[in-house]
């Protein structure tokens, strides 16, 4: 059983980094193997080049997929569970992660599969988990409809049918960290057993 964590935050001084560390130790305690794609630390390219657009925009499956994107595909193929961790910035993920989806969800792999092409279709992932930290409390994000829109975009569209089981944890209220930290840590600590439940059946 293997977990791939796609992590998107520029600073180790952040609350989001603290959540990543907590998750890593929770997984280690459960003896669950994991790998992290730390997008800022990797300096992952998130702008789509003109050359890539010629492939993605026109579904030209004969054009090559860049090596850094293929490396992400290989990590995904080795994973039973993928966890996305990021802060909510302007009601969505940081541009760094949005660019990961733009480039890594290659046509012919994550969608638009053609049996005649040489590209292997993305394998179905057992469990997809989205963890985002947010300044606003969850109640407020629900009240203004943003919790629902973030869920629609991340869970229904970006994870979509590619994942068999999907969940989103909005760790809101981080303006008052002392208040929310114990609740958030408790949520993170239970993730290992959920992964085992979804990925060993």
Ligand X SMILES: Cc1cc2nc3c(=O)[nH]c(=O)nc-3n(C[C@H](O)[C@H](O)[C@H](O)COP(=O)(O)O)c2cc1C
| Interaction site with ligand X (CB under 6 A) | 9, 14-16, 87-91, 133-136, 174
Rounded Cα gap, residues 195 and 149, in angstroms: 25
- Whole-number minimum distance, CB 89 to ligand X, in Å? 4
Task: Decide whether 149 or 190 has the Cβ nearer to ligand X.
Answer: 149
Task: Decide whether 19 or 76 has the Cβ nearer to ligand X.
Answer: 19
33 contacts: CB under 8 Å, gap ≥ 6 = 1, 2, 3
Task: Decide whether 87 or 108 has the Cβ nearer to ligand X.
Answer: 87
- Whole-number minimum distance, CB 175 to ligand X, in Å? 7
Going edge to edge, which strands form the sheet with 163-171?
Answer: 33-38, 2-7, 81-87, 125-133, 163-171
* Helix, strand, coil tally for the chain in percent (to 5): 45, 20, 35
The answer to whether 4 and 75 are in contact (CB under 8 A) is yes
Task: Decide whether 33 or 143 has the Cβ nearer to ligand X.
Answer: 143
- Whole-number minimum distance, CB 150 to ligand X, in Å? 9
- Six-digit token string for 38: 């730390």
Task: Decide whether 9 or 55 has the Cβ nearer to ligand X.
Answer: 9
- Whole-number minimum distance, CB 180 to ligand X, in Å? 9
- Six-digit token string for 120: 């292997």
The answer to whether 124 and 166 are in contact (CB under 8 A) is no
- Whole-number minimum distance, CB 159 to ligand X, in Å? 20
């Amino acid at each position: 059983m293997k977990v791939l964590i796609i992590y998107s935050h520029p600073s180790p001084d952040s609350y989001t980094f603290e959540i990543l560390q907590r998750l890593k130790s929770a997984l280690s305690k459960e003896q669950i193997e994991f790998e992290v794609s730390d997008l800022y630390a990797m300096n992952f390219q998130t702008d789509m080049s003109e050359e890539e657009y010629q492939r993605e925009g026109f579904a030209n499956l004969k054009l090559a997929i860049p090596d850094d994107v293929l490396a992400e595909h290989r990590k995904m193929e080795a994973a039973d569970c993928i966890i996305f961790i990021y802060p909510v910035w302007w009601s969505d993920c940081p541009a760094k992660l949005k660019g990961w989806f733009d480039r890594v969800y290659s046509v012919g792999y994550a969608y638009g599969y053609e049996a005649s092409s040489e590209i292997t279709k993305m394998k179905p992932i057992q469990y997809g988990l989205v963890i985002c930290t947010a300044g606003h409390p969850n109640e407020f994000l629900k009240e203004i409809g943003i919790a629902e829109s973030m869920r629609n975009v991340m869970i229904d569209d970006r994870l979509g049918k590619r994942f068999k089981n999907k969940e989103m944890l909005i760790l809101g209220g981080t303006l008052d960290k002392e208040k929310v930290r114990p609740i958030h840590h408790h949520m993170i600590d239970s993730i290992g057993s959920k992964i085992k439940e979804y990925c060993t059946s």
